[in-house]
Chain A
Amino acid sequence: MTPYLAVELDGAGRHPAAWRLPDARPGELFTAGYWTGLAQLADRAGLDFLAIPDSFAPPAEGQAGLVRGRLDAVAIAARVAPLTRTVGLVPTATVTHTEPFHLSKAIATLDFVSLGRAGWQPEVSGTQAEADLFGRKEWSDGPPPADTLWRELADAVEVVVRLWDSWEDDAVIRDQATGRYVDRNKLHYVDFAGEFFSVKGPSITPRSPQAHPPVVLRLDHVEDELEALPVVGRWAQVVRIAAPDLAAAADARARVRDAVAAAGRDPDEVAVLLDVETLLADTPDQAQATLAQLDGWHDGPGGTEHGTLRILGTPVALADLIEEAVGSGAADGVTLVPLALPSGMHTVAEGLVPLLVQRGLRPSAPTPATLRDRFGLARPANYFTEARA
């Protein structure tokens, strides 16, 4: 099968010292031009989607040498959407302190402005620092446990998806004879009442091109996997896993598929993508030398994600890994996490992708498709019409 290929774009790259490389553009990280350039590279290379991380976490203290500061990920995705044609756009959206109603219309609108290329990556915010920025009184005794956070995430996803269905596709009728713009029988109150919030609905935004932009969930924190798995099983269309090697990835993928089956869904409808940190060069020695330079600037090995596979070497080595990962059933594809940007996006677009095309592992030219199309997902039925039937 064709491996899925996504790239995560975080600032100057995942290595904390990446912004100091000569070809980094650290002064442009908060400009539209930086993000547009990266997204257009991904678009021309035919990637399945770009993951854009986000968080309300405050900038680390005492770390003048780190990239600090970030822009809203949904905003970045919307900003690049009109200037790209095929790549999926998957911003992270924190659900712990935010409003499901706002998120629902924001992601639906990203779907409108990208003509069906939106996805989203809901995440929990478990730190007291984030709660303090919002001023959540109920957190005065400290953050709730992981199972509470994930239950709230599940509720938030459910509300967002119900709101997407709160307009039937043909609700706008523009009926001259009766003077009605909408058929209000095709608008639905969602009437969600849960442990954390209640939401009446309907959404203020009509149903979007994909109806349900895919839910991408990360399952890469060992400490809350137990709490996360049932939510992943119920709601994810794409799951991002991290593992130190392909054997561990295969185990993680099996756990995801079990969770999906346990939730009564078909595991083949959920794609499991393995995170791979990348630093590519013409030779392995060059890649090692660059990493040594980065670690030197950082006073030690760059604080990358614990237990994540890493390819330091040539595009060929990465292509081999991807082929093996998918061939062995360890993953359905990969999310590449460049240690350095924008160079890491160039090496993917100009080095890796042509190799994968040569091997018949990627299409030779990007084709316009919705993000659901890319993952073989049909346009979903509407919850409320199903309920009526």
Chain B
Amino acid sequence: MTRSRKKQVHLAAHFPGVNNTTVWSDPNSGSQTDFASFVHFAHTAERGLFDFLFLAEGLRLREHRGQIHDLDVVGRPDTFTVLNALAAVTTHLGLGGTINTTFNEPVEIAKQFASLDHLSGGRAAWNLVTSSDAFTGENFRRGGFLRPEQRYERAAEILEVAKKFWDSWASDAVRADQAAGVFVPDEAISPVDHRSELFQVSGRFGTPRSPQGYPVFLQSGDSDPGREFGAATADAIFSRHGTLEAGQAFFADLKGRMPRYGRHPDDLKILPAATFVLGDTPADAEERAAHVRRQQVGPQTAIAFLEQVWGRDLSAYDPDGPLPDVDPDPENVSITRGRVRHERDTVALARQWRELAESRNLSIRELIIETSARQSFIGTAAQVAEQIDSYVQADASDGFILVPHLTPGGLDEFVERVIPELQDRGSFRTEYTGRTLRDHLFQGDTPATRDLATRDLHHPLHPRESGLSAH
């Protein structure tokens, strides 16, 4: 096999989630919950030689104007359980998911990710998501216990404690030496003791070190503390910076922060979320894209989007009519709960939207389609491959996490048509060359491997130095 010197594109597959990107009204839309949908999606991603599949998770159903939001897909199965089951029907595909750092405890996260990594042969990835809201906390023992400014403090520390658990077993602890009667030497398991304001955790961890040592760490926070956390700890970052220039700025910013943490820029992959629509011709693709956008922004969804900005009930307005002439209620910022919110000046935004609608004669629905739902890549397979490759070669990203709009078949066409184009360009693998997700992301030169090598030399309790090895 010839190894191209060209920078390689990394792709991840985001199972369609619980927002209006996912089109449930299409005749080809299947179950969001049945395991068969996940199997279909995973098989497509693995056939396409993707680095990993990704499942998002939110721990409380979204609400809009005090009621459960009913216009988008609602509900999904448990992340760990689906990923473990998918490990049974795939062989190479990485298996990643969001696990909240606020409403889980380190010892169970450590055990669950170590188990997934063992049972998948080293394919686990953890997207660390922080939350502090009392709204989600109402589903958990501790309620809304965390101050917002402590979100990343807790996330960083939960990661630190989880790593202590994972590191507490030497990588060759399990000897299973029948002749010597030694299954695991005592010295191969070190007690963990971590005491701080947030955690008081101590004891011996119950699960052996897994194939990857640590799961691959994913991050998506865009705030300054979020970026800092990502630069310090993440293996891959999901960004939202879609344009070439914004992507390049984010890429440079993140990678520029890494040396402070003793990390090489290649140790982190930047993977913006991206949507796509393919067509046989450019015009065909544009037509399909417009159709999908209308599916994503139905009349009721258009009004709901508007209400998020206006902060008031706009159900009396005609989605095919003009924008409201009243101003937003700037006080009512909690009209939608259970989804990520970004602080913004709603009065200014409303003014901007009204100007745009007036100048182009847009209805409410047309305006929301225009401002919210434009796909990242639209074109023929060759065009989309060219766009993806050019972003990556220009260091606007290291690849993308693709978010199809249909479950479960939304990735099929991409894998059949775009992947071969990327391969022809010499920018994408033609086979999996490693077994673990770290292999896929870093071609064997993995940060964790280096950690382990260092640890093997310096860990005072490492069995190789303890003299307990059989023979």
- Listed in ascending order, the chain A residues whose CB lies under 8 Å from chain B are 19-20, 22, 24, 26-27, 29-32, 35-36, 55-59, 61-72, 74-76, 78-83, 97-99, 101-102, 105-106, 108-110, 112-113, 115, 129-130, 132-135, 137, 167, 172, 174, 176, 178-184, 187, 196-206, 297
Contact = CB atoms under 8 A, between A and B. Distances in A.
Contacts of B299: 179
B438 to A, nearest CB: 18
A66 B70 contact: no
A56 B78 contact: no
A303 B185 CA distance: 20
A109 B88 contact: no
Given A64-B185, A70-B206, A181-B72, A134 B107 contact: yes
Contact of A68 (B68, B120, B189, B203): B189
A63 B80 CA distance: 31
Given A70-B207, A74-B80, A201 B139 contact: yes
Contact of A204 (B24, B25, B59, B199): B59
Interface stretch (B173-181, B405-413, B423-431): B173-181
Interface string B184-205: 1110010000000001111111
Given A182-B75, A206-B33, A206-B75, A68 B184 contact: yes
Contact of A59 (B68, B189, B200): B189
A99 B109 CA distance: 12
Interface in B284-300: 298-300
Interface string B159-183: 0000000000100011010100111
A202 B205 contact: no
Contacts of A80: 88
A67 to B, nearest CB: 5
Given A59-B206, A79-B88, 14 more contacts: A20-B178, A29-B176, A32-B87, A56-B107, A71-B119, A82-B39, A82-B88, A102-B104, A105-B81, A112-B77, A184-B67, A202-B61, A203-B75, A206-B75
Given A59-B184, A201-B139, A187 B61 contact: yes
A78 B204 contact: no
A132 B105 contact: no
A58 B108 contact: no
Contacts of A26: 176, 178, 183
B141 interface: yes
A196 B77 CA distance: 26
Nearest to B69: A184
Nearest to B99: A102
A58 B85 contact: no
- Top 7 nearest A-B pairs (CB, nearest first) are A26-B176, A200-B138, A78-B84, A179-B300, A109-B81, A58-B204, A113-B85
B347 interface: no
A30 B118 contact: yes
B39 A78 contact: no
A61 B186 CA distance: 7
A64 to B, nearest CB: 5
Contacts of A205: 33, 75-78
B85 A99 contact: no
A321 B197 CA distance: 57
B208 interface: yes
A27 B173 CA distance: 11
Contacts of B141: 99, 196-197
B374 interface: no
A134 B184 contact: no
A204 B68 contact: no
A184 B176 contact: no
B175 to A, nearest CB: 9
Contact of A71 (B59, B78, B104, B118): B118
B35 interface: yes
B176 A135 contact: no
Contacts of B107: 56, 133-134
Greatest chain B CB density within 10 A among A19, A99, A110 is at: A99
Contacts of A71: 114-115, 118-119, 207
Interface string B106-137: 01100110111011110000000000000000
Greatest chain A CB density within 10 A among B73, B77, B84, B201 is at: B84
Contacts of B174: 27, 29-30, 69
B70 A79 contact: no
Interface in B39-78: 39, 57-61, 67-68, 70-78
A137 B200 contact: yes
Contacts of B201: 132-135
